[in-house]
Structure 1
Amino acid sequence: MHAPLASPAVTAKQGFGWLAIIRIGLVQAAIGALVMLATTVLNRIMVVELELAAAIPAGLVAWHYAVQLCRPLWGHASDKSAVNGGGSRTLWIIGGLVVLAAGGMLATQATLLMESNFAPAFALAVVAYALIGAGVGAGGTSALALLASGVAPQRRAAAAAVTWIMMVGGIVASAITVGTLLKPYSPGRLVEVAGGLAAVMIAVTVLATFRLEKQAGHFRDAQDDAPAPDLRAALAEIWREPAARRFTIFIFVSMIAFSMQDLILEPFAGLVFGMAPGDSTRTVGQFHQGGILIGMIVAGVGGSAFSARSAGSLRPWVVGGCLASGAALGALGLAAISGPPWPFALNLFVLGFGNGVFAVAAIGSMMGLAGAGETTREGVRMGVWGASQAIAFGLGGLLGAVGLDLARAALGEVGAAFQLVFAVEAAAFVWAGLLAVKATGAGAIRASAAQGKREQFA
């Protein structure tokens, strides 16, 4: 049996209880709600009401992901402030949400100005989406660092499930609410709704984090009072650790596979299965997203139950989720050739279930690795993996859409083109599962930290 990730002597506190975990989930929900405004509502207004090229909002969304490459920098700053004084991660969380909300308001104004004066409005939108990316990076990285440092190892899978389910819930709830409040649509009403959403989400974040940091434990393998290294030294230490290095690559590969499907599932439903727009949206949302939520719940409950016995028990959940996702994508490749007789809804559910299992288990494993550094702390390590995830999300959606267009041009058949893209995605998930074998688990974490320390003094 594996030893626990952190000795009981590491902290005198019990760490976050379930209420505290839910409060961090509220922060994630606020982030999801504010990002939804920019990536969904404003995207639709640019393409439909303003009749702009779809590449314009797509490029702005990709830009906000690119800005998040600075997550390690913000995470490192959060680490240093957390060492120097209690409650400092909270300031980074609230500050990030304020910047995110300001970016959303500015993006709304820029979108409305595009109709009359496009060039300066687009320049303003570039600044606005940069603020959105910065706010997500600073606030989200600090929230995850606080969660990783304050949650006991046996609760990490469940904590990851709770916070991510709440983030998805925040996106869904805000989408329904904003959609209802925008009827009938007018530019003035859009500004009012965006302002109201920003104010409410900032208030939720302030209330959710009030005195929260004082409840955190300090579940780290290294001494908690060790000084945080400078950013260059921190990044070098992370890259020296085999498990941390493999985990960074795993996050990148798995998130590319995960995001490649985002922009092509609905076109697949329409082109191969002949579904109308409303039917495809409802089917993909109900079965794929429903499968993700159920997969998250199962991995959260099951991972936590088995984590009480073995700290390395999240590894089979990560690997199993990746392999299930790969198998479901391979099945969609067969569906691309067979067409309507295929049980499309069931296939989507299995794909979503696998996605949800691997996502929650990977986040739980990430929390374990975040506290395993010799001198590096949770913020900069979460920042590195957050940056890897952000660039993979931006790149994956583009690769899926462009890959489909290239495959259709080269093969001349819609079904064969989808089959090729799904096969590439499936192979990426299998590769991610193989990477996860060595990148996750308590033994890998301890061996990684020890190997990194030996290489430092070699």
Structure 2
Amino acid sequence: MSMQPPLGWPGIVRLGLVQTSLGAIVVLTTAALNRVMVVEHALPAMLPGALVALHYAVQMLRPRLGHGSDQGGRRTPWIIGGMAVLALGGVLAAAATAWMGTALIPGILLAVLAFLLVGLGVGAAGTSLLVLLAARVAPQRKPAAASIVWIMMIAGFVVTTATTGRLLDPYSPERLVAVTAAVSAIAFLVSLLAVAGVEGSRAARREASAPSAFLPALREVWSEPVARHFTIFVFVSMLAYSAQDLILEPFAGAVFGMTLGESTRLSSVQHGGVLAGMILIAVVGSLAKGGLRALRCWIVGGCGVAFLVLLSLAFAHQSAESYPLRAACFALGMANGAFAAAAIAAMMQLVNAGRPGREGVRMGLFGAAQAIAFGLGGFLGTAMLDVGRIATGSTVGGYALVFLGDAALFLASAWLALRIGQAARAPSRYPGAAAAAS
């Protein structure tokens, strides 16, 4: 373990700026470029959907990328390298989108390469950033650190979309590429300054693992009961988290008769709830004691509240006139924010619960499960809606089926959360493993 003193709040915020920068580039590729492809170029919505899914699929490489940082024992080069690849991917994605207006097939081929680079960059930088946070943040500050880093990522979404939204009008291909290149360059420079000197050098080299092949290292981590169980929990809970993303706004319009503007504002209410839940974990988590036990309680509680809200949404059509939809969406967002922040804090605790020198592989496994679940969740939610419409013969019945299925996923997540880290109570041959998961 590093002998450096734990990071203070300024250091945590500095590393949070990397997540802000990462979010700034990603939101342009998943939002602005999506809009240009569908509206300005009149292309099928399936195209940007497939490209975004591709960037999630590439993140299955997170364990391999984490293993690479384990071998060198330093996370900073992987963060900087990942951000460089991400910035390059963002610029190429904008160029590809602009090119689609005059040369569709070459533009699409370049976009495939660009989104592969975006996924690789996010995987390399994001995995090593979380491992570095876990190594440098004191246990009692990890809940707050997890919340701060994710709040700063959301801030990156907000600031980037608000700023570039003005700069991109009136639209032109040249303007799209120029604005994206400027955002990518600024994000990379901010990341470079944010990580400078945070990790140190000598201590990090002492933490390097002995050279080993990737697949044996992955099998070794998967054989650890704590890591395997938490990976399954992350997959199921993030599937539940993302399954509702593409459903709530159409539901508000179809069942409650809301206009486009009203349903969009409803989405902002839900995201406000997510921020409130994360802030709650940041404040309460930094004050309370109890380590992983306390985090388990927050995770179970958040999943339980989400289960109850989704259950009520499934039957909301029966009393649409009096149902408090805005309050329900805020409560759902707050439950999601609280459980997600607590889960990320638990992830930072459990990354050390096993053989030393495998932290990158472990965090990569958790991150890959999260990315795959996010990629699948939105698609499965919409697919379930279509199946539900056919099965029940009504739109309302389709939405009810989606909410009931999502509620079941949150119930399963709460059940899995009850056992997070429990296997670490058994005797371990790795000193500190049980302590990390307690």
**Class of the TM-score when normalised by the shorter of the 2 chains:** over 0.9
> Contact 1:32–1:170 (CA<8 Å) still a contact in 2?
yes
Summarize the Cα distance change of 1:449–1:257 in structure 2 as closer, same or farther, 3 Å threshold: farther
> Contact 1:264–1:400 (CA<8 Å) still a contact in 2?
yes
1:89 maps to what in 2? Answer: 75
Displacement of 1:199 after TM fit?
A: 0.9
Summarize the Cα distance change of 1:103–1:319 in structure 2 as closer, same or farther, 3 Å threshold: same
Displacement of 1:224 after TM fit?
A: 4.6
- Among 408, 411, 426, the alignment partner of 1:427 is 408
2:10 paired with 1:19? yes
- Among 347, 350, 355, the alignment partner of 2:336 is 355
Counterparts in 2 of 1:257-296, with a 5 A limit? 257-285=240-268, 287-296=269-278
Letter of the 2:220 counterpart: E
1:235 maps to what in 2? Answer: 218
Summarize the Cα distance change of 1:11–1:211 in structure 2 as closer, same or farther, 3 Å threshold: closer
> Contact 1:34–1:198 (CA<8 Å) still a contact in 2?
yes
- Among 88, 101, 124, the alignment partner of 1:102 is 88
Q: Distance in 2 between matches of 1:188 and 1:112?
A: 8
Q: Distance in 1 between matches of 2:341 and 2:286?
A: 11
2:384 maps to what in 1? Answer: 403
Long gaps (5+) in structure 1: 1-9, 83-87, 454-458
1:7 maps to what in 2? Answer: none
Counterparts in 2 of 1:3-402, with a 5 A limit? 12-82=3-73, 88-214=74-200, 224=207, 227=210, 229-285=212-268, 287-307=269-289, 309-402=290-383
Query: Partner of 2:414: helix, strand, or coil?
Result: helix
Deviant stretches of 4+, over 6 Å: 215-218
Summarize the Cα distance change of 1:183–1:226 in structure 2 as closer, same or farther, 3 Å threshold: closer
Query: Partner of 2:17: helix, strand, or coil?
Result: helix
2:436 maps to what in 1? Answer: none
Q: Distance in 2 between matches of 1:122 and 1:354?
A: 39
What TM-score results when the alignment is normalised by the length of structure 1?
0.90
Q: Distance in 2 between matches of 1:422 and 1:299?
A: 26
Letter of the 1:447 counterpart: A
1:183-209 deviation per Cα after TM superposition (whole angstroms, max 9, x unaligned): 222222111111110111011001101
Q: Distance in 2 between matches of 1:257 and 1:225?
A: 36
What TM-score results when the alignment is normalised by the length of structure 2?
0.94
> Contact 1:251–1:388 (CA<8 Å) still a contact in 2?
yes
1:241-268 deviation per Cα after TM superposition (whole angstroms, max 9, x unaligned): 2221110000000011110111111111
Summarize the Cα distance change of 1:80–1:283 in structure 2 as closer, same or farther, 3 Å threshold: same
Displacement of 1:13 after TM fit?
A: 3.3
Q: Matched residues, percent identical?
A: 49
Summarize the Cα distance change of 1:449–1:387 in structure 2 as closer, same or farther, 3 Å threshold: farther
1:5 maps to what in 2? Answer: none
Q: Distance in 2 between matches of 1:389 and 1:448?
A: 29
Q: Distance in 1 between matches of 2:209 and 2:45?
A: 49
Displacement of 1:61 after TM fit?
A: 0.2
Displacement of 1:39 after TM fit?
A: 0.3
Summarize the Cα distance change of 1:63–1:278 in structure 2 as closer, same or farther, 3 Å threshold: same
Letter of the 2:277 counterpart: G
1:211-264 deviation per Cα after TM superposition (whole angstroms, max 9, x unaligned): 11129988xxxx956536432232222222222111000000001111011111
> Contact 1:151–1:216 (CA<8 Å) still a contact in 2?
no
Displacement of 1:291 after TM fit?
A: 0.5
Q: Distance in 2 between matches of 1:280 and 1:352?
A: 15
> Contact 1:256–1:396 (CA<8 Å) still a contact in 2?
yes
Displacement of 1:326 after TM fit?
A: 1.2
Q: Distance in 2 between matches of 1:377 and 1:137?
A: 16
> Contact 1:75–1:382 (CA<8 Å) still a contact in 2?
yes
Q: Distance in 2 between matches of 1:228 and 1:15?
A: 27
Summarize the Cα distance change of 1:114–1:134 in structure 2 as closer, same or farther, 3 Å threshold: same
Q: Distance in 1 between matches of 2:427 and 2:325?
A: 42
1:138-195 deviation per Cα after TM superposition (whole angstroms, max 9, x unaligned): 0111111101111111111011000000001111110101101112222221111111
Query: Partner of 1:41: helix, strand, or coil?
Result: helix
Count of residue correspondences: 431
Letter of the 2:14 counterpart: R
Deviates more, 1:147-156 or 1:67-76: 147-156
Q: Distance in 2 between matches of 1:93 and 1:25?
A: 12
Query: Partner of 1:214: helix, strand, or coil?
Result: coil
Deviates more, 1:298-307 or 1:49-58: 298-307
Letter of the 1:110 counterpart: A
> Contact 1:229–1:376 (CA<8 Å) still a contact in 2?
no
2:418 paired with 1:437? yes
> Contact 2:72–2:209 (CA<8 Å) still a contact in 1?
no
Q: Distance in 2 between matches of 1:207 and 1:299?
A: 28
Query: What's the Cα RMSD here?
Result: 2.0
> Contact 1:318–1:433 (CA<8 Å) still a contact in 2?
yes
